[in-house]
Amino acid sequence: MSTLYPCSQCSLETFCSSDTSFKAAVKERHLNKKEILHRASDKFSSFYVIKQGGLKTYEIDSNGHELIQSFYLKNEVYGYEAIYTGHYLFWAITLSETIVCEIPYQQFLELLHAKPALLDRTLYLISQQITAGTYLKFTTAQQKLAAFILDLAARLWSQHYMLPMTYQDIGSYLGLATETVSRIFSSFQRKKMIHIDKKYVYFLNIEKLRQIASGFE
């Protein structure tokens, strides 16, 4: 179904292929759908580059419900957030069949010291994540959802894609009820802004979506 993200397009490829000992330390892991990558409070020792599929991170609230923290998709790097505590803060589970490159942090750090360009690249990638999900603070459900699917389009580099997660996950991530997600998507379709067929999203009026995401109407 989904295509494998080639090493040649990986954001760390230059370094991975230039250093044999580093490349040897990188392990490619194939995971099934809904396979747990790690638990909350597991010790942090590696981060991951996602070559195919995707994953979600979440915590369990006092009522036993999943609280989605974030999504990580193809070609994105996951795990930087755990550097500062030394252990993961959330659970991580795959959304679909997924392939990741597991990169040991200690060996990565050594390479970081040796290769200035890698350092620049890494700071670039981490910096990017600080402002991720800024649309979470939007007030209306419309705004959040419009911004969310536009964000996915940007991250997947396409204006038609399969939603990698359930409506329940989207709702939890945005702080909305599942029913609200469904209703707003329906209204977007009635207004001919998108078309959804079996979790596949097609953008019909991207300009209108951008307007709604930025607070018009």
Six token digits for residue 84: 């500062």
Q: What is the DSSP string of 7-50?
A: GGG-TTHHHHHH-HHHHHH-EEEEE-TT-EEE-TTPBP-EEEEE
In terms of CB distance, is 1 or 84 closer to a copy of itself?
Answer: 84
Quick one: what does residue 116 bind among DNA, a copy of itself, none, with the CB cut-off 5 to 8 Å set by partner type?
Answer: a copy of itself
In terms of CB distance, is 1 or 24 closer to DNA?
Answer: 1
User: Does 142 participate in binding DNA (rule CB under 7 A)?
Assistant: yes
In terms of CB distance, is 3 or 139 closer to DNA?
Answer: 139
Name the minimum Å distance from CB 68 to a copy of itself: 8
Q: Are 207 and 217 in contact (CB under 8 A)?
A: no
Angle separating helix axes 167-174 and 141-156, nearest 10 degrees: 110
User: Does 195 participate in binding DNA (rule CB under 7 A)?
Assistant: no
List the one residue from 41, 127, 186, 205 that touches DNA (CB under 7 A): 186
Name the minimum Å distance from CB 148 to a copy of itself: 12
List the one residue from 15, 72, 148, 185 that touches DNA (CB under 7 A): 185
Six token digits for residue 59: 């915590």
What stretch of H or E contains 99? strand 98-104
Sign of CA dihedral 109, 83, 52, 133: negative
Name the minimum Å distance from CB 131 to a copy of itself: 5
Six token digits for residue 150: 């536009």
User: Does 2 participate in binding DNA (rule CB under 7 A)?
Assistant: no
Q: Are 135 and 213 in contact (CB under 8 A)?
A: yes
In terms of CB distance, is 29 or 121 closer to a copy of itself?
Answer: 121
Task: List interacting residues with a copy of itself (CB under 8 A).
Answer: 61-63, 67, 69, 80-84, 89, 109, 112-113, 116, 119-120, 123-132, 134, 136-139, 173-175, 214-216
